[in-house]
Structure 1
Amino acid sequence: MASRLKHLPLPLAVSGGLLVVAAVAGWFTAGSAGLIGGAGGVAVVAGGYALSSVAVAWADSVLPKMVMTVGLATYLFKFSLLGLVIFAVPRGWAGIPAMAVAMVVSVVAWLGAQVWWTVRAEVPQVTYHLEPGYRPYDDEHEE
């Protein structure tokens, strides 16, 4: 399963650095509530993406046909949990703006790190040498 999670260290490292930045920025803008909100926002996003990665990698290692089902179930679980967390936070709490900003920035940072890793990953390629005009389904799948 580790071979399916090679992309995970970079986004987690970026999220770790962003957690520190968000916590400090939150503390400067809203005190201890901002610190908790900023750090919590980054932690929620990073934890959610990491959970999805591990769940999908597990499904792929056990039975590849389950990848879509597990991915969608994980998505449903994450957003249900996120909804519960949002409703549990009291209205007017001073850390909400820091948490919201941290979540948005964390999503962009995670996706940026994952794209950066993917573009630079060494992925084996297969080159096919087919005859010009080759059409594999012309004779086999006539209706």
Structure 2
Amino acid sequence: MQLPFLNRLQGLTGPVVNKIVSPGAAGPEQTAAELILQHVLAGLPELVAAAVVLEDSGQALATYTTAREFNVGKVIGYNADVIRQQRLALKALQLPAEEQLEEVLITLRTQLHLLRLLPDGRRFLYVVVDCRDTNLGIAREVMRTCEG
């Protein structure tokens, strides 16, 4: 049963957990972002968090988390900065035009944070998995297959 008051009340206590959330107005971009997250969830049911983010603004189109203490909204802007800075670093290397940034991997003791640019070049997919639950190769493959 959907009770709007209870849904709003849950949002006041922190991030909504175990539910895909689209913070902006409904539209085709949000719908596409939600579909991407549904695909990721189907392939990585144990993930900690995921988001589809606009790179230029760092704004989330859709987010998902399984842990209330993991606030995706707080970190996605910094991740957008990581991608922008990495692009500048690659530009400084003066690599051939066909060399493009595809993915950034941040490895922690218990977590893997993956940032994968989507084909339009405007958005990226951010996925956090627990190293004990998910293999890096599987996470990368799931992210790669949702690009289409």
- Scaled by the length of structure 2, what TM-score is found? 0.30
Instruction: Give the structure with the larger strand fraction.
Output: 2
Structure number with the bigger relative contact order (C-alpha 8 A, sep ≥ 6) is: 1
Structure (1 or 2) with the greater helix fraction = 1
